[in-house]
Structures are given as structure tokens and as C-alpha cells.
């Protein structure tokens, strides 16, 4: 019996999952993004972590019969303005959704402490929602690393405070996820690995690779212990020659399971188009 099978056997009720809007990606993730836990998307800029998050905001609104959550979402952003134009482009692949922004709440974040304050305040929103508004079942934080980038110095005192705030934020998110059946998606960034001796094995691999660079997830081991599932997105440029011997550059993107209680170490190639994000069969 596999470990993931044992976990399912011990759990009397199967965990609800939210479709990514693509059957190939859903199969790769064992049905989609799980509720009751924190899923982290780790990647450098341009790999598609925000694109996947936006598609999740749309797929969460689908009925449960189609793999959705029949729910609304909360999108907390810390860096750029909410990408409304891109969301509308992706919504063309969800023709059954009318006015999808009506079921998406957005809120800016200014610091890690501000995030914790917001999470403490949304309990009342999750408890007492208007009857005409679908329940919130998906929370996306874009991105967690940006909130800690300038708030703490690289000294023992600040690092201890930072770790303490990691656990306060993640404990609050996990408590809300379990209490309200939420799918929580947290976006994280990467840092370059310069010295192999400094790398630490987390999950299925010591180091991760993207754009021909060796990287690791930002925020270190303390934050890695705060999430339930870590998915790593990467991109690589390839030169492709056509019949006339002209070469062009093609971008290939992959999503990989770094660690998860219900998934094996595996990867899947995916493509981003104007209309949607979708996986490729091997």
C-alpha cells in the first residue's frame, strides 16, 4: 500500500479539490488543488504562477459537478495591481460563468504583519456572508516572499521574529482552511543557489532548476515547514530548427511536485496561451 493510499484509508471523508480547469493538470495533481490545506506555487518570474492562480479564481466558481467549488474567492496581492485584463482573457474559456469578477474579492497587502491582520479580520467574512453571495472557498496570496523582503534584516533577532511570524500566518491559514473547507494557494519566489554546500534537501530534490539556473524556494526551511504541498514551476528556452534551417526560441514550462502528502515526485509540461493554461500529455 502506498503512503497516499494509507492516508486516504484513514480519512473517512475524501478531501474536496478544486479543478485547475484542465483535465491533464487535474490528473497530475490527483484531482486538483486540495481544500483544508496550504498549497504553495514556487517559481521565478514568468513561469506562470499568477496565470495558474487566476485560472483557479475562475474554476473555483464552477459547480462541484464540473470539479469546481461553487464558490467565490479572495485574492490578496502584494506586488502588482490585480491583473483584471488577464483575468478577462482567461474567462473566455469559462463560457458558463457570467460576470466572474462578481465572485472574486481582492485586497492589497503592504507587509507580513498586515497579512496577519487581514487574516484575523476575514473570519467574520467567512462566517457571515450575504445569502446572495457564494461562500469563499479559495484564498490566493500573491506573493508571500514579497511581504518579507524588506521588513526584516539578516540578523539573528530579525530572523527569529520572521520565523515566528511565519508560523503565526501559516497556523491561521491552516485553521481557517480546516474550519471553512478552504483551498489556500500561496505564491512564493526563488533565490539562486550559489554554493552547493549551502543547499538543503527539502522534499524530493536538493536543488531545483529553471532558466538554466540552480535555485531554491525563498524564505528557507522555516517557511517550507509551514506549507502542506509545494509545487515548483520552471521554464527553459530551447532553440528549434525548422525545415529551412531557421532557428527559433521556444519556451517550455513544467510543474513539479516537490513535496505533498498525497502525491508522488512527478512533473508535467504545461502551456500558457491567451485563452487558458493547460497541460500536455507525455
What's the structural domain count of the chain?
Answer: 1
- Alpha-carbon distance of 10 to 14, in angstroms, equals 10
pLDDT at residue 246, as a whole number: 65
The pLDDT tens digits for 246-258 are 677 889 999 999 9
Give tens-digit pLDDT for 148-175: 887 787 788 888 999 999 999 999 999 9
Question: Phi/psi of residue 37, each to 5°?
Answer: -160, 175
CA angle 186, 276, 87 (to 5 degrees): 60
Using DSSP's 3-state secondary structure scheme, residue 17 falls into strand
CA distance linking residue 149 with residue 112, whole number of Å = 9
Side-chain half-sphere CA neighbours of 8 within 13 A: 12
More confident of the two residues 205 and 222: 222
At 167 the three-state DSSP class reads helix
Residue among 21, 62, 93, 92 at smallest CA distance from 279: 21
Q: Maximum CA pair distance of the chain? A: 64
pLDDT at 199: 55
pLDDT in tens, 109-121: 999 999 999 999 9
Catalogue the long-range contacts made by 270-275 (C-beta closer than 8 Å, 24 or more residues apart). 270/22, 270/25, 270/48, 272/48, 272/51, 274/89, 275/89, 275/90, 275/92, 275/93
Residue 50 predicted with pLDDT over 90: yes
Question: Which residue range forms the structural domain that includes residue 243?
Answer: 3-195+203-279
Write out the three cell numbers for 266: 512527478
Report how far Cα 76 is from the mean position of its chain's Cα atoms: 12
Cell numbers for 69, please give them: 467549488
Q: What is the CATH number of the domain that holds 160?
A: 3.40.50.300
Instruction: With a cut of 90, say whether residue 206 has pLDDT above it.
Output: no
Amino acid at each position: 500500500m502506498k503512503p497516499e493510499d494509507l492516508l486516504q484509508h484513514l480519512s473517512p471523508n475524501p478531501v474536496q479539490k478544486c479543478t485547475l480547469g484542465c483535465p491533464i493538470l487535474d490528473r497530475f495533481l490527483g484531482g486538483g488543488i486540495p481544500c483544508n490545506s496550504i498549497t504553495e506555487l514556487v517559481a521565478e518570474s514568468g513561469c506562470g504562477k499568477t496565470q495558474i492562480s487566476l485560472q483557479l479564481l475562475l474554476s473555483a466558481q464552477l459547480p462541484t459537478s464540473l470539479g469546481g467549488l461553487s464558490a467565490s474567492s479572495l485574492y490578496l496581492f502584494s506586488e502588482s495591481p490585480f491583473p483584471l485584463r488577464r483575468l478577462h482573457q482567461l474567462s473566455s474559456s469559462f463560457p458558463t460563468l457570467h460576470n466572474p469578477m462578481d465572485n472574486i474579492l481582492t485586497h492589497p497587502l503592504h507587509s507580513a504583519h498586515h497579512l496577519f491582520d487581514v487574516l484575523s479580520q476575514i473570519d467574520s467574512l467567512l462566517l457571515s456572508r450575504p445569502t446572495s453571495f457564494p461562500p469563499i472557498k479559495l484564498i490566493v496570496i500573491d506573493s508571500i516572499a514579497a511581504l518579507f523582503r524588506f521588513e526584516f534584516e539578516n540578523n539573528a533577532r530579525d530572523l527569529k521574529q520572521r520565523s515566528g511570524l511565519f508560523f503565526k500566518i501559516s497556523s491561521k491559514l491552516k485553521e481557517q482552511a480546516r474550519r471553512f473547507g478552504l483551498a489556500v494557494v500561496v505564491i512564493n519566489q526563488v533565490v539562486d543557489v550559489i554554493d552547493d554546500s549551502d543547499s538543503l534537501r527539502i522534499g524530493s530534490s536538493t536543488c531545483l532548476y529553471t532558466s538554466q539556473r540552480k535555485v531554491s524556494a525563498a524564505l528557507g526551511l522555516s517557511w517550507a515547514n509551514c506549507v502542506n504541498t509545494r509545487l515548483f514551476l520552471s521554464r527553459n528556452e530551447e532553440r528549434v530548427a525548422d525545415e529551412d534551417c531557421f532557428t527559433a526560441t521556444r519556451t517550455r514550462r513544467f510543474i513539479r511536485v516537490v513535496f505533498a502528502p498525497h502525491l508522488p515526485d512527478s512533473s508535467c509540461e504545461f502551456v500558457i496561451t491567451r485563452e487558458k493554461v493547460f497541460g500536455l500529455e507525455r
